[in-house]
Amino acid sequence: MIAKVEPLTPARTLRGPFDYRLGDDLPGVNVGSMLVVPFGPRRLLGVVVDLAEESELPPERLAEPLRALEADVPAALVRLGLWLAREYCSAPARGLALVLPPGTGTGSGQPLRPRSSLHATLTDAGREALAGGLPGLGERQQAAVRALGGGPLAAAPLTRLAGCGHATLRALERRGLVTLDRTADPSRRPRLEQVGAMAGPAPEPTPDQSAALAAVEARMDAGVPGDPLLLQGVTGSGKTEVYLRAVAAALERGRSAIVLVPEIALTPQTAGRFVERFGDAVAIVHSRLAPRERYDEWWRMRRGEARVCVGPRSAIFAPFDDLGLIVVDEEHDASYKQEGDPRYDARVVAERRAAEEGAVLLSGSATPRPESIVRHERLRLDSRVDRRGLPPVELVGMLGSSGALHERTRDALDDVRRRGEKAIVLLNRRGWSNFLSCRVCGNVWDCPDCDVTLVLHRAAGEIACHHCGHSEPVPPACGECGSASVARHGAGTEQLERELEELMSPLPVFRLDADVTAAGGSGAVLRAFDAADAGVLVGTQMVAKGHDFPAVTLAVVLDADATLRFPDFRAEERTFALVAQLAGRSGRGERGGRVIVQALDPSARALRHAAEHDADGFAAGEIERRRAFGYPPFGNLVRAVCSSEDPGPELAAAEALRERVAAAGMPVLGPAPLFRRRGRFRAQLVIRSPERTPAIDAVRAAVEEVAAMKEHAAAAFAVDVDPQ
Ligand code: ADP
Ligand code: ZN
Ligand code: ZN
């Protein structure tokens, strides 16, 4: 047999697969096996992507693999990884790295070994021998069997009890008296930080929930998964309960399930409900896990000890080979798109994986994307479980008013203060001030590496770039004219926090934004806000995620149309979702609640619909607009960005790409210059085509051709399919 092996090296020039002859000493090699193979003078780690009877190479040129690793991945995942690499114009090794055990494929070569503990159990023969007085056994063997009479034991305590070593246990195994098996150490399970109220036992489903669940189960039983399902329901309408029951339905049918959630650190409640319902059958994977923990969770899934994987986008690669269900919670969330290569969208990958493996795909949101509304079959939960209405939303125009907070907002916050309640205030801009300028000469402090202004972070005593991480101490004087008179423009969360501390005293104010998260404090902030009797949570969009704080009676969005001013066709959708999601945070308790939305132009379509909790009305208009302009889901976008250290090559490369893509018959916009970032000049092309695969293929072919040309050697290329 011949194994076709794709080497796991990020070197783009080394494109497999390469053929290796399988000798008798490596039985059981299959698609998904991981092999260490000789490659010239080197040794490489590779994945078997195919098996064949024969090779086109002459036998004397075929080498044999050196050894096989203990870990392997299901064949379907190998196909998924290779598909992903093509779909997102990346290298096969990078696509495969996503589906392999954590820690492999990163170039470091040697993967971790599973940390598992050896457990010993008496066999029937062992019990008989014990009853018969253990004839023919040595002293230590006898002691070990006796110790096991009370039930299975891990090797460590057993060897201590019996005063024996592992060799004794293996001898007993050879005699058929004891079985030894490896299980992951349960004490190593990652713990979830608890935030907020945990759900009690499973409630009786409402008629709407039952209907949604029946649709999911019908799909499972039909044998063919059919179109993906979209569960639309406002926050508190019981979507998570439907997910929980859908997972139970998959498990009852002997299948595994994946539950994708946005960033776990921000929404531990949801993950916690799965652990609470399914216990050890749940594996939690997220970015905060140590490599060791990730690896252990991977093995629990691979061995079938964990049947449910809950996690952010990478959880879509959970190594199940009997997948029955994929849930995508908060399917509108931008975190499902990966920013680095390969720039995959976990929602698209979920669709592919569900279709290939016969699993049901169930996405859900209060504010689903037009893409899902158009292409999925919709299920609805139309009211909150507790029958409470959604809170009234007041739109407040800020033209002519100075300061961050409008009069009405101040009054509403003051009510919260006097009554000792809770409020959430959202401002999607971190730091203290947007930028600094010299009052004398007008000099503005810019990032040396990007064409953007530096943002003042007062607590840290620095001005920082939000695009590259560059930071420098707050300048004492203007570098151009020496004036010490510096103006600060705009307000961010840091400044707002200070203002609210004064306004709301003695209520505590908690801040949640990327600066806090970077310090590892998001969980602590959320717990503190939850535990406080009263207070204010202020922060960026993170505060609008799915937290459930019953005591919140006021939610405020500042500068709600800031996101609308972005030159992005998703700007309206984002703004609508942000306001609607935040509105869902208010009034979850008995005291009801209100929502205030401050904007320069409160008549904007996204804001008006959000104020009326009119997701359908917003979606209808949005879908028409998308149809008219050929935007997703009525067209496909592929973005190519060329960059270079000096100005010029990036534009020339983009122009060369444009010619080729246009010659392939694809409609292409650009090249358009982008602002300089991380010291690199950039230009972008956008391909907008009704046909998906031909568009991707045309861009890939053009990039491969131009990237190989000497005259464009100074340019680097990045392709983003379905850019966000
Ligand atoms: P969503 O995910 O749509 O925000 P959840 O599933 O979290 O909604 O439900 C909101 C609250 O209602 C939770 O506290 C949940 O335990 C409770 N709940 C959900 N379904 C029911 C039900 N059928 N009966 C009673 N309470 C329910
Ligand atoms: Zn100056
Ligand atoms: Zn910068």
Q: Whose CA is nearest to atom 23 of ligand 1?
A: 205
pLDDT band (50, 70, 90) for residue 183: low
pLDDT at 200 over 60: no
Residues 28, 65 share a domain: yes
- Taking Cα atoms as reference points, which of 417, 406, 409 lies closest to residue 594? 409
* Residue 658 counted as domain residue: yes
Q: Whose CA is nearest to atom 8 of ligand 1?
A: 238
* Residue 609 counted as domain residue: yes
Give the C-alpha distances (Å, rounded to integers) separating 594 from 555, 597, 601: 7, 10, 20
Token look-up 């406080």 returns 532
- Taking Cα atoms as reference points, which of 509, 546, 541 lies closest to residue 422? 509
| Closest ligand 1 atom to Cα of 200 | 16
Residues facing 328 on adjacent strands = 260, 363
| Closest ligand 1 atom to Cα of 237 | 3
Which whole number is the average pLDDT over 79-99?
Answer: 94
CATH number at residue 568: 3.40.50.300
450 alpha carbon to ligand 3 midpoint, in Å? 4
Which whole number is the average pLDDT over 115-124?
Answer: 75
pLDDT band (50, 70, 90) for residue 286: confident
Q: How far apart are CA 249 and CA 254, in angstroms?
A: 9
Residues 130, 231 share a domain: no
Instruction: Give yes or no for a contact between 569 and 530, defined as CB atoms under 8 angstroms apart.
Output: no
Give the C-alpha distances (Å, rounded to integers) separating 574 from 158, 194, 566, 600, 606: 58, 29, 10, 17, 9
Task: Single out the residue in 99, 126, 141 at which a domain terminates.
Answer: 99
Which helix (H) or strand (E) segment holds residue 84: the answer is helix 75-87
pLDDT for the residue 85: 94
Residues 284, 331 share a domain: yes
| Closest ligand 1 atom to Cα of 235 | 4
Token look-up 């995508």 returns 328
> For a substitution probing ligand 1, which of 206, 209, 241 has the most ligand atoms within 8 Å of its CB?
241
- DSSP assignment of 201-214 equals SPPPPPHHHHHHHH
DSSP state of 113: P
Residues 553, 670 share a domain: no
CATH number at residue 702: 3.30.70.600
Which whole number is the average pLDDT over 206-227?
Answer: 91
47 three-state secondary structure: strand
Q: Whose CA is nearest to atom 20 of ligand 1?
A: 238
- Taking Cα atoms as reference points, which of 429, 400, 423 lies closest to residue 411? 423
Q: How far apart are CA 196 and CA 194, in angstroms?
A: 7
pLDDT for the residue 71: 85
Which residue blocks in 596-648 are alpha helix, DSSP H?
A: 605-611, 615-629
Lowest-confidence segment of 367-381, 428-442, 458-472, 559-573 by average pLDDT: 559-573
Instruction: Give yes or no for a contact between 270 and 261, defined as CB atoms under 8 angstroms apart.
Output: yes
pLDDT digits (tens, 9 = 90+) for 696-724: 999 999 999 999 999 999 999 999 999 98
Query: What is the count of structural domains for the chain?
Result: 5
pLDDT for the residue 198: 45
Percent of residues, the chain, with pLDDT higher than 90 = 57
Strand intervals (E) in 323-469: 323-328, 360-365, 377-381, 393-397, 422-426, 435-438, 455-457, 462-464
pLDDT for the residue 195: 40
353 alpha carbon to ligand 1 midpoint, in Å? 29
Count of other CB atoms within 10 angstroms of residue 536: 28
720 alpha carbon to ligand 3 midpoint, in Å? 21
pLDDT for the residue 409: 96
- Taking Cα atoms as reference points, which of 257, 78, 280, 56 lies closest to residue 187? 280
517 alpha carbon to ligand 3 midpoint, in Å? 20
Which whole number is the average pLDDT over 235-255?
Answer: 93
pLDDT band (50, 70, 90) for residue 520: low
* Residue 455 counted as domain residue: no
pLDDT for the residue 110: 47
Please write down the HEC assignment for all residues of 468-497: CCCEEECCCCCCCCCCCCEEEECCCHHHHH
Task: Single out the residue in 628, 663, 683 at which a domain terminates.
Answer: 628
pLDDT digits (tens, 9 = 90+) for 34-62: 999 998 888 889 999 999 988 888 888 88
600 alpha carbon to ligand 3 midpoint, in Å? 28
| Closest ligand 1 atom to Cα of 234 | 3
Which whole number is the average pLDDT over 535-553?
Answer: 84
Tokens (6 digits) for 651? 């534009």
Tokens (6 digits) for 383? 């009211």
Q: Are strands 668-677 and 680-689 parallel, antiparallel or unpaired?
A: antiparallel
pLDDT for the residue 605: 93
Instruction: Give yes or no for a contact between 501 and 417, defined as CB atoms under 8 angstroms apart.
Output: no
pLDDT for the residue 116: 54
pLDDT for the residue 196: 40
pLDDT digits (tens, 9 = 90+) for 213-222: 999 999 999 9
Q: Are strands 256-260 and 33-39 parallel, antiparallel or unpaired?
A: unpaired
Residues 122, 87 share a domain: no
Mean pLDDT for the chain overall? 88
Task: Return the ligand number nearest the Cα of 470.
Answer: 3
Instruction: Give yes or no for a contact between 536 and 423, defined as CB atoms under 8 angstroms apart.
Output: yes
Cβ neighbours of residue 119 closer than 8 Å, sequence gap 6 or more = 152, 153, 154, 155, 180, 181, 182, 183
pLDDT at 677 over 60: yes
207 alpha carbon to ligand 1 midpoint, in Å? 13
Residues 368, 306 share a domain: yes
Task: Return the ligand number nearest the Cα of 446.
Answer: 3
Instruction: Give yes or no for a contact between 701 and 665, defined as CB atoms under 8 angstroms apart.
Output: no
583 alpha carbon to ligand 1 midpoint, in Å? 17
Instruction: Give yes or no for a contact between 494 and 511, defined as CB atoms under 8 angstroms apart.
Output: yes
Which whole number is the average pLDDT over 443-471?
Answer: 90
pLDDT digits (tens, 9 = 90+) for 383-436: 888 777 788 999 999 988 888 899 999 999 999 999 999 999 999 899 988 889
637 three-state secondary structure: strand
* Residue 194 counted as domain residue: no
- Taking Cα atoms as reference points, which of 371, 302, 410, 442 lies closest to residue 635? 371
* Residue 486 counted as domain residue: no
CATH number at residue 175: 1.10.10
Residue type (1 letter), 391 = P
591 three-state secondary structure: coil
* Residue 622 counted as domain residue: yes
Residues 572, 524 share a domain: yes
Question: Containing domain of residue 708, as a range?
Answer: 636-721
255 three-state secondary structure: coil
* Residue 46 counted as domain residue: yes
Task: Return the ligand number nearest the Cα of 678.
Answer: 3
Task: Return the ligand number nearest the Cα of 472.
Answer: 3
Task: Return the ligand number nearest the Cα of 478.
Answer: 2
Tokens (6 digits) for 34? 């991981």
251 alpha carbon to ligand 2 midpoint, in Å? 67
Q: Whose CA is nearest to atom 10 of ligand 1?
A: 236
pLDDT at 190 over 70: no
Strands laid side by side in the 668-677 sheet: 668-677, 680-689, 636-644, 716-721
Token look-up 């029951």 returns 245
Residues 227, 79 share a domain: no
pLDDT for the residue 247: 96
Residues 607, 652 share a domain: no
Task: Return the ligand number nearest the Cα of 201.
Answer: 1
Long-range contacts of 451-459 (CB under 8 A, 24+ apart): 451/675, 451/676, 451/677, 452/675, 455/430, 455/431, 455/492, 456/431, 456/432, 456/488, 457/431, 457/432, 457/494, 457/515, 458/432, 458/494, 458/495, 459/432, 459/494
Residues 288, 416 share a domain: no
Count of other CB atoms within 10 angstroms of residue 482: 10
Residues 411, 284 share a domain: no
49 three-state secondary structure: strand
Q: Whose CA is nearest to atom 26 of ligand 1?
A: 203
* Residue 483 counted as domain residue: no
Q: Whose CA is nearest to atom 24 of ligand 1?
A: 203
237 alpha carbon to ligand 1 midpoint, in Å? 6
Residues 606, 523 share a domain: yes
Lowest-confidence segment of 132-146, 191-205, 241-255, 568-582 by average pLDDT: 191-205
pLDDT for the residue 293: 85
Q: How far apart are CA 264 and CA 523, in angstroms?
A: 10
Please write down the HEC assignment for all residues of 660-688: HHHHCCCCEEEEEEEEEECCEEEEEEEEE
105 alpha carbon to ligand 3 midpoint, in Å? 30
Long-range contacts of 80-84 (CB under 8 A, 24+ apart): 80/317, 80/349, 80/352, 80/353, 80/356, 81/317, 82/6, 82/49, 83/352, 84/342, 84/344, 84/349, 84/352
Q: Whose CA is nearest to atom 19 of ligand 1?
A: 238
> For a substitution probing ligand 1, which of 213, 240, 276 has the most ligand atoms within 8 Å of its CB?
240
CATH number at residue 72: 3.40.1440.60
pLDDT for the residue 186: 47
- Taking Cα atoms as reference points, which of 522, 601, 512 lies closest to residue 563? 601
What does R_g of the chain's alpha carbons equal in angstroms? 29
* Cα within 13 Å of Cα(649), Cβ side: 16
Residues in the ligand 1 pocket, defined by CB under 6 Å: 199, 203-206, 209, 233, 235-241, 385
